[in-house]
A and B are shown apart, each in its own frame.
Chain A
Amino acid sequence: MSLNVLVVDDSAVTRAVILKTLSMAGLDLGQTHQAANGRLGLEVLEKEWIDLILVDINMPVMNGEEMIAAVRENPLWADIPIIVVSTEGSVTRIDRLQSNGVTFVHKPFTPEAICNVVQGLTEVTQ
């Protein structure tokens, strides 16, 4: 099954690196979408079927924590796997995010870290 992926990060370079990492890992990617903040990410979710979200925390307009809360509150989106890709170092905030059912990948990340987490969440094999 191909994965429709949404990458939300205010850095276009980071979005490109994440998508390139997923592509080079041999994952069966379907449509890929990008957004520069949580608000724009929610707009993508309203229009597109998304199987997996990768999201940063510190972003302008709407941060990742706010976006994750909105996703989890919407019955249509509540079960979408979410991976937080962030420099976040506060164990308090990371614990809060993980209690909301998200997986955390720390920046700077290795391609293997992203791929292992995605494969674990989606049960996709290379």
Chain B
Amino acid sequence: MQPCRETLARIAEDTFASLAFMFPVEPQEAPPSAAPPVIASVAFHGPWRGWLEMSLPPEMMAPLAANILGADDPADTDVEKQVDALKEVLNVICGNLLPVIDSPQSEYTVAAPLMQKADLAGPDAAATETSICLDSGTVQLRLLLAAA
């Protein structure tokens, strides 16, 4: 298993761009947010077990759902759709990350994403953290890994 910050960031950027039409920008160009972030995480298990956690500004939630759904007005998306959209983005990032950082032959089961922080204990647990700056805000990612 070869997790690295650059791989995690690249796959997250690609996913936001292709799924939600949110594109990378320079750090100073990403809209700042003072609000507490929205946090979601997804667990997976296979040859390795772990969690992928994502934190993003609450201001991104409505545009994220609207862009994915093709809605003209972000105000048309309710909280349920916004949460579902966030979970789907996280699910896609996780699903695309695993065959890159592990062998493409390895089989993983990815659980349903949850609106909570990741939790992985154990002496062999390791974390990889990165952030990506998008035109709609800055997204933090944290990958927790341990041997299965």
A-B contact sample (9 more), CB < 8 A, given A87-B110, A90-B107, A108-B18:
A12-B80, A13-B81, A17-B69, A87-B94, A88-B95, A89-B96, A89-B104, A90-B104, A92-B105
Chain A residues within an 8 Å CB radius of B81: 12-13
Please judge, given known A-B contacts A10-B112, A11-B87, whether A108 and B92 are in contact too, CB under 8 Å. yes
A91: Cβ under 8 A from any B Cβ: yes
A residues 64-109 near B (Cβ < 8 Å) are: 86-93, 107-108
Chain B residues within an 8 Å CB radius of A90: 99, 104-108
Q: Residue A86 contacts which of B87, B95, B99 (CB distance < 8 angstroms)?
A: B95
Q: How many residues in B have their beta carbons less than 8 Å from beta carbons of A?
A: 30
B22: Cβ under 8 A from any A Cβ: no
Cα(A14)–Cα(B92), bound, Å: 11
Cα(A17)–Cα(B92), bound, Å: 14
Please judge, given known A-B contacts A16-B69, A60-B112, whether A11 and B105 are in contact too, CB under 8 Å. no
Q: Which residue of B lies closest to A60 (CB)?
A: B112
B98: Cβ under 8 A from any A Cβ: yes
Q: Which residue of A lies closest to B16 (CB)?
A: A108
Distance to closest chain B CB from A56 (angstroms): 9
Distance to closest chain A CB from B134 (angstroms): 15
B-side interface residues toward A, CB under 8 Å? 15, 18-19, 65, 68-70, 80-81, 84-85, 87-88, 91-92, 94-96, 98-100, 104-112
Q: Which applies to chain A's interface (DSSP): helix, strand, loop or mixed?
A: loop
Q: How many residues in A have their beta carbons less than 8 Å from beta carbons of B?
A: 23
A-side interface residues toward B, CB under 8 Å? 10-14, 16-17, 20, 58-60, 63, 86-93, 107-108, 110
A-B residue pairs in contact (CB < 8 Å), sample of 23 = A11-B87, A12-B80, A12-B81, A13-B68, A13-B84, A13-B88, A16-B69, A17-B70, A58-B91, A59-B112, A63-B109, A86-B95, A87-B94, A87-B96, A89-B95, A89-B104, A90-B104, A92-B105, A92-B106, A93-B107, A107-B19, A107-B95, A108-B19
Cα(A89)–Cα(B94), bound, Å: 10
Chain B residues within an 8 Å CB radius of A89: 95-96, 98-100, 104
Q: Which residue of A lies closest to B87 (CB)?
A: A11
Chain A residues within an 8 Å CB radius of B107: 90, 92-93
**Does A11 contact B95, Cβ atoms closer than 8 Å?**
no
Q: Which residue of B lies closest to A107 (CB)?
A: B92
Cα(A12)–Cα(B112), bound, Å: 13
Q: Which residue of B lies closest to A89 (CB)?
A: B99
Q: Residue A108 contacts which of B15, B109, B110 (CB distance < 8 angstroms)?
A: B15
Cα(A74)–Cα(B107), bound, Å: 27
